[in-house]
Amino acid sequence: MSIRYIATTPFSDQKPGTSGLRKKVRVFQQPHYLENFVQCIFDTLPKPAKKDILIIGGDGRYYNQQAIQIILKMAIANGFRHILIGQHGLISTPAMSAQIRKYRALCGIILSASHNPGGPEADFGIKFNMGNGGPAPEALTDAVYDATRAIQEYRLFESDDIDLDSLGEIQLAETRIEIIDTVTDYADFMQHLFDFDAIRALFKSGLFHMLFDAMHAVTGPYAKEILLRRLGAPTDTLLNAVPKEDFGGGHPDPNLLHAHELVERLFGANAPDFGAASDGDGDRNMILGRHIFVTPSDSLAVMAANIHHLPGYSSGLSGVARSMPTSQAVDKVAESLGVECYETPTGWKFFGNLLDARKITLCGEESFGNGSDHIREKDGLWAVLFWLNLIALRQQPVLEIMREHWRRFGRHYYSRHDYEEVDSTAAESLMAHLRRQLGGLSGRSFGDYRLKACDDFCYTDPVDNSISEHQGLRFMFEDGSRIVFRLSGTGTAGATLRVYLERYEADPEKHGLETQQTLAPLIQIAEELAQIQQFTGRDRPSVIT
Ligand code: VG1
Ligand code: CO
């Protein structure tokens, strides 16, 4: 058994984005491609000491197992002496974050393209998390990118593939490999944060029915252990709970479009009381009640207003944070509680410093992601358990919880319109066109809406003072309404334009209105400002959430 040094050539590639590198499977399967990128990660990290632990796992999509075998052999060749791998090669993103923190690992490598589809013709991805359990900071991903442009060789330890299915230890040369059960660990952790007795009683009453859609992705085994085994929910609570390499052919994206099976059940006759779904790698969540969809922004606000009732959070909130395009619903709660509310750029990595510095307890994004200081990633099942715990405590249906919240804090009508796979040059031109207008628009009126300010969002991290520029164009109106434009950093084909629309309504008499209708004037202003149709050739968004 020996280490092979394999000559390769630099590959000038795109910078790893907010959540690692995402490409088509075919791209990752090209000779040396995955290896090059992984070697660049190892070259950028400090050289591992004997005690340093590396954790590897993925969301189970096509190419997961093969990639793990390659990365394992490269990790050994690069000096790792202790490696942990999730059983069957599976680890959800939040479970990875929890495991890194529990084992005090040096870092973790997650194979996932999150909510993007899987299969030989679909997407694959690789991201790496650091010792705090969170995504690598920009300085590090930039350094990896620089390494990809200089790489000359990679290292591979020669051995047969190992068995990823049986728990236990394997010794390869000087390296100890452990196949670990992350499901039990994660379930124990959740049990410590939430009142499982109260939730178990809720299911036992027979008066409460829920559906959880794992979308054939990684949370299936975790949901089975937690919801069925520990909380006593009936078996038919779970939909699509067996992980599949192609996620059953769907997009494992828990939103109104892609989780339509679940949505139809919750809005149909004999709808259950509660519905939830999570994405490919388990960090996203969607929350539904009978005949109601809770926007992720509202979900964050409800969590902030109620968190002190939960066992794991009895000391309340130190502060909260939301990504810039997320609605300002949580700001109202923070204001009433007298705690700080931070506004960060899109992407979970910007919450890391705030969490590490204990400036915030809770944070979230409009893109179906919420989480807390328990780990350094957003956490899908955690959010589901949060809501279950809340329902068990308040003994109220979701609709009632929302109505009460809106009566107290006002309602933020909110929607995101995505234009997917548009021509990249056209998308860039649209953004440039908007940027050119920023200086001259303030004070201008669009029908009833008067523009108060607009800018290209720039964030200064309050902990390390690092500056992140060009994080999205904000148009803020005098009544509190906002329109935000930004380009996605996670797509694998063309560009995706995201238009975020938000309107505040304080009057409870008007809280029953339909969202898209309520936002119609803003939708029109967005078109007027950005000339979306002219630039992209599209007369409507591809996804509305
Ligand atoms: C999207 C979301 C963003 C999220 C990111 C990763 O990014 O908008 O809020 O943090 O996905 O989520 P973008 O650049 O495409 O808008 V996940 O579940 O892929 O880790
Ligand atoms: Co995800």
- Both 264 and 369 in one domain: the answer is yes
- Mention every residue, 6+ apart, whose C-beta is less than 8 A from residue 515: 413, 414, 415
Q: Across all residues in the chain, what is the average pLDDT?
A: 94
pLDDT of residue 494: 87
Neighbouring-strand partners of residue 459? 468
Residue 161: which of 227, 69, 95, 239 has the closest Cα? Answer: 69
pLDDT of residue 442: 78
Give the mutation target among 367, 377, 500 for probing the ligand 1 site: most ligand atoms within 8 A of CB. Answer: 367
Residue 488: which of 410, 409, 408, 542 has the closest Cα? Answer: 542
Last residue of a domain, one of 150, 180, 210: 180
- Both 220 and 86 in one domain: the answer is no
- Both 161 and 24 in one domain: the answer is yes
The alpha carbon of 401 and the centre of ligand 1 are apart by a number of angstroms equal to 28
Ligand number nearest CA of 281 is 2
Tokens of 161: 């593939």
The alpha carbon of 282 and the centre of ligand 2 are apart by a number of angstroms equal to 6
* Axis crossing angle, helix 296-306 with helix 380-394, rounded to the nearest 10: 50
- Both 400 and 472 in one domain: the answer is no
The region of weakest confidence among 154-163, 398-407, 504-513, 530-539 is 504-513
Q: Between the CA of residue 441 and those of 64, 230, 435, what are the distances in Å?
A: 49, 56, 11
pLDDT of residue 11: 72
Contact 155, 5 (CB under 8 A): yes
pLDDT of residue 439: 83
Annotated catalytic residue: which of 92, 97, 112, 114?
A: 114
pLDDT of residue 17: 64
pLDDT of residue 388: 98
Residue 530: which of 496, 504, 499 has the closest Cα? Answer: 499
Contact 125, 113 (CB under 8 A): yes
Mean pLDDT of 376-401: 97
- Both 167 and 305 in one domain: the answer is no
DSSP string, 295-324: -HHHHHHHHHHHGGGSGGGTT--SEEEEET
Angle at 37 between CA 45 and CA 489, to 5 degrees: 100
3-state secondary structure of 147: helix
- Both 65 and 214 in one domain: the answer is no
Residue at 379: amino acid letter = D
- Both 213 and 246 in one domain: the answer is yes
Query: What is the sign, positive or negative, of the torsion defined by CA atoms of 254, 256, 259, 265?
Result: positive
Q: Check whether 343 has a pLDDT greater than 90.
A: yes
Contact 56, 71 (CB under 8 A): yes
Domain residue limits at 301: 186-409
Evaluate: CB of 221 within 6 angstroms of ligand 1: no
Tokens of 76: 């050994």
Total domains, the chain? 3
Angle at 141 between CA 380 and CA 47, to 5 degrees: 105
- Both 21 and 75 in one domain: the answer is yes
Q: What is the pLDDT of residues 418-464, one digit of tens each?
A: 999 999 999 999 999 999 989 888 788 999 999 999 999 999 999 99
3-state secondary structure of 124: strand
- Both 107 and 138 in one domain: the answer is yes
- Cα 196 to chain center, whole Å? 25
pLDDT of residue 1: 62
The region of weakest confidence among 351-360, 368-377, 485-494 is 485-494
- 417 vs 19, which has greater pLDDT? 417
Last residue of a domain, one of 148, 180, 212: 180
Ligand number nearest CA of 368 is 1
Residue at 153: amino acid letter = E
- Both 356 and 241 in one domain: the answer is yes
Contact 69, 355 (CB under 8 A): no
- Both 422 and 303 in one domain: the answer is no
Give the mutation target among 490, 496, 499, 500 for probing the ligand 1 site: most ligand atoms within 8 A of CB. Answer: 490
Query: What is the sign, positive or negative, of the torsion defined by CA atoms of 201, 205, 207, 210?
Result: positive
pLDDT of residue 426: 94
Confidence of residue 511 (pLDDT cuts 50, 70, 90): confident
Evaluate: CB of 346 within 6 angstroms of ligand 1: yes
For the question of residue 278 being annotated catalytic, the response is no
3-state secondary structure of 534: helix
Ligand number nearest CA of 367 is 1
Whose Cα sits closest to atom 17 in ligand 1? 114
Evaluate: CB of 498 within 6 angstroms of ligand 1: yes
- 131 vs 493, which has greater pLDDT? 131
* CATH assignment of the domain containing 424: 3.30.310.50
Q: What is the pLDDT of residues 281-331, one digit of tens each?
A: 999 999 999 999 999 999 999 999 999 999 999 999 999 999 999 999 999
Evaluate: CB of 18 within 6 angstroms of ligand 1: yes
Q: CA torsion 242→246→251→254, rounded to 10°?
A: 20
Q: Check whether 81 has a pLDDT greater than 80.
A: yes
* CATH assignment of the domain containing 61: 3.40.120.10
pLDDT of residue 12: 64
What whole-number distance in Å separates Cα of residue 33 and Cα of residue 209? 47
Q: How much of the chain exceeds pLDDT 90, in percent?
A: 86
What whole-number distance in Å separates Cα of residue 143 and Cα of residue 157? 24
3-state secondary structure of 70: helix
Q: What is the pLDDT of residues 177-208, one digit of tens each?
A: 999 999 999 999 999 999 999 999 999 999 99
- Both 167 and 130 in one domain: the answer is yes
Last residue of a domain, one of 409, 425, 453: 409
